[in-house]
Amino acid sequence: MADTAYDVVGIGNAIVDVIAHAEDALLAELGLSKGVMTLIDSAEADRVYSKMGPGIECSGGSAGNTMAGIAALGGRGAYVGKVRDDQLGEVFRHDMRSIGVAFDTNAASDGPSTARCLVLVTADAQRTMQTFLGACVELGPEDIDTALIASAKVTYLEGYLWDQRRAKQAFIKAAEAAHAAGREVALSLSDPFCVDRHRADFLDLVAGHVDILFANESEIMSLYQTAAFDEALIAVRGHCRVAALTRGEKGSVVVAGDDVVVVGAEPVAKVVDTTGAGDLYAAGFLRGLTAGQDLATCARLGGLCAAEIISHYGARPEAPLADLARVALV
């Protein structure tokens, strides 16, 4: 097999987060469900934004956050996602490239603006997210460079892509290109509502296209429609090569054939903001896996990265994660 240029190529919705503090009363006024990610249209985005307090903007997106984690761990990454040729699109591209992640997907030159996620942070540290997908709906199979996919050890896909018809086609094209080149495909289930929307497709995908599955408890239980984590764990066994299942403060469980690896959570002095925990767990896990580490080490590294991200605001790493990697990989 040819040498790889990249450890991981991530494909996802390229989104700029707009983060503001909010009172519970504002959520009620806007009719928002706390802690939930909802897809909204342009008019609703304008309505919510007009009621929000002053914001800060920073690049986000689930797979984008994961790629930022992999880069912070010293991994070689590339990203595929669709922005528009507008200022927030330039911000997203800059932020990705500035951390050393290759990002060469063409920007859309017309159509909706770069995607925004309006994040309302309440005093209880919960985040209520309203996502306007904007230019992300333009991502299609023509954006998948099969040579790029073939040059990465793992192609990582976020489940949110499944919300759009042409992104699904891109997703399948990328998975097939990866396997044709003898590479692996990883999928994150993204969130339980996303699983609800696409359960049958995701079950087929996991069986037919996915080697490495990332899910948290509620996502994997939703996928297999069971109320018990242990039943979901039995169901996923053999369904893909590796399933890495995160359980919050209970750590994670990795299932791979007959092996089950249980790793405790890293201690965190104060949980400030849980957003990005899953994204960064995937970053740590994939960094370990592509460095040839065993599953327990991968899970430990995932847990370390998740612990870092939940100890501060924002879903992209602040600490030099490479230091964490050195600890984990000793």
Residues that bind a copy of itself (CB under 8 A): 18, 20, 49-50, 52-59, 68, 86-88, 91, 94-96, 98-99, 113-114, 316
Toward a copy of itself, which CB reaches closer, 138 or 211? Answer: 138
Toward a copy of itself, which CB reaches closer, 114 or 130? Answer: 114
96's tokens: 């990705």
Q: How many residues make up the chain in this entry?
A: 330
52's tokens: 């929000």
Toward a copy of itself, which CB reaches closer, 22 or 149? Answer: 22
Task: State in angstroms the smallest separation of the CB of 53 from a copy of itself.
Answer: 5
Let me know if 64 is exposed, middle or buried by CB neighbors in 10 A (0-12, 13-18, 19+). buried
Toward a copy of itself, which CB reaches closer, 101 or 213? Answer: 101
Query: What is the signed CA dihedral for 275, 21, 60, 248, rounded to 10 degrees?
Result: 0
Task: State in angstroms the smallest separation of the CB of 58 from a copy of itself.
Answer: 4
What phi and psi, each to the nearest 5 degrees, are found at residue 2? -65, 155
Task: State in angstroms the smallest separation of the CB of 320 from a copy of itself.
Answer: 11
Place of tokens 């984008």: 64
Alpha helices, H only, 111-164:
146-150
Task: State in angstroms the smallest separation of the CB of 97 from a copy of itself.
Answer: 8
Toward a copy of itself, which CB reaches closer, 87 or 225? Answer: 87
Task: State in angstroms the smallest separation of the CB of 237 from a copy of itself.
Answer: 39
Report helix, strand or coil for 19: strand
| Closest by CA position to 73, among listed 302, 310, 330, 273 | 302
